[in-house]
Amino acid sequence: MYDPMDILKIMSIEGMGPCLYKNLIDKFGDPEQIIPRLKSFSTDDKSIPSGVLSSVHSGKYLEFFNKHRQWMKQSGAHILTLEDPLYPDILKHIYDPPPLITFLGEWDLKDNNALAIVGTRHPDHYGKRITRDFTHSLVNLDITIISGLAKGVDSVAHYTAVRSGKRTIAVLGTPPDIIYPAENQALVRQICNNGVVLSEFVVGHKTAPGCFVRRNRLISGLSRGVIVTQAGDKSGALATAFSANEQNREVFAVPGNIYTGLHDGCHRLIKKGAKLVEKVEDILEELPILMQKCSPQLNLITEAADLKDITESGKLILNILSKEPLYVDDILQISDLNHGKLMSVLLQLELKGYIQQLPGKFYIRKI
């Protein structure tokens, strides 16, 4: 396992991101080798971003590294790397998982079955009510709620969860020492008592608009699905929904008043294929792993044979799998699908909770 401090040093380099980090790991191997190797590059070398090389040659990254470590010591925060057993497995499925996460609070097994709730920063009475009602119903089924700590819908979802004494996760678009908006300082303290506040950014780094776009992909990446309770046509919540779609997560949208323009974003998502939802059951029926978990409380029964939301290729794979582990190459040979198609189908089935991947690329059927 790599030394987390070596990874923190690398991510302290200005301009470093998940994709560049992965490329450097592929090129140089052990993280311990990356900074020494980068120091051997001329600042004129075009194969590495100039800002990255400048930060390495000037030693500026060490300033951020030390600031981050000092803040962690003062705040009691922790870091997770991709190799850490506690790193959320579902997040590893996304295209560019962060090599390092800094977090306050504690992870829980319940967080493996989480849903995101996002929306406008300026919800009307209807939007606030919908957000509270959906959040309250879901957390009472012990489903963790994830959001982005922004004003409006995000804050309503977080507050509803903490006031119910249930778990919620806040994903920051800023370094972990900066709470934005500042008015949510008290909310963050409450979340840390029974949840997690996390960031992929390093203390001291500047916050740019693009940081919140990167934040959005983590909200969806940590979730089984994303619920948009209210969003206008230009709402930032749509970016989270689009990230969810790219990550093969389910997207749900609540319809609203067609005359105000405050719900146009939700309506656009529905037109593009998001599921229109009016009640919690509408969400759970699309996610068998959550339906199975929650059916005793809801008095709902999911028949394993009822596979309306599964493609023909998905049904084929489910018929091949059983409770006995089967190696991916054997599935490939039996199914006669091409490799890319098979991996896409396996990911979809896993995210929906029909199957489970075991170490060594073995798969079993769960329901």
Tell me which DSSP letter residue 15 carries.
T
Domain with residues 312-365, CATH architecture: Orthogonal Bundle (1.10)
- pLDDT confidence of residue 165: 95
Residues 6+ apart with CB under 8 A from 258: 267
pTM over 0.85: no
- pLDDT confidence of residue 352: 80
Tokens of 59: 């030693």
**What is 103-290's CATH topology?**
Rossmann fold (3.40.50)
Tokens of 289: 């792993």
Average pLDDT over residues 115-134: 96
- Alpha carbons within 13 A on the beta-carbon side of 228: 38
- pLDDT confidence of residue 70: 98
- pLDDT confidence of residue 308: 54
Distance between CA 367 and CA 361 in Å, rounded? 19
Distance between CA 236 and CA 337 in Å, rounded? 37
Under the phi-then-psi rule, with left for phi > 0, alpha for psi from -120 to 50, and beta for the rest, what region is 252?
beta
Tokens 């060490």 identify what position? Answer: 62
Distance between CA 157 and CA 87 in Å, rounded? 24
Asked if pLDDT for residue 303 goes beyond 60, the answer is no
Full DSSP string of 118-154: EE-SS--HHHHHHHHHHHHHHHTTTPEEEE---TTHH
Closest CA to 154 of 177, 185, 128, 193: 128
- pLDDT confidence of residue 13: 96
Residues 269-301 have pLDDT tens digits of 999 999 999 999 999 989 988 887 776 666 543
- pLDDT confidence of residue 298: 62
Full DSSP string of 100-120: EEEEEE---GGGGSEEEEEE-
Can you name the residues that pair with 103 across neighbouring β-strands?
78, 198
Residues 9-52 have pLDDT tens digits of 999 999 999 999 999 999 988 899 999 999 988 877 888 888 89
Asked if pLDDT for residue 305 goes beyond 50, the answer is no
Can you name the residues that pair with 78 across neighbouring β-strands?
103
- pLDDT confidence of residue 302: 42
Helix or strand or coil: residue 269?
Answer: helix
User: What residue ranges do the domains of the chain occupy?
Assistant: 4-75, 103-290, 312-365
Asked if pLDDT for residue 94 goes beyond 50, the answer is yes
- pLDDT confidence of residue 300: 44
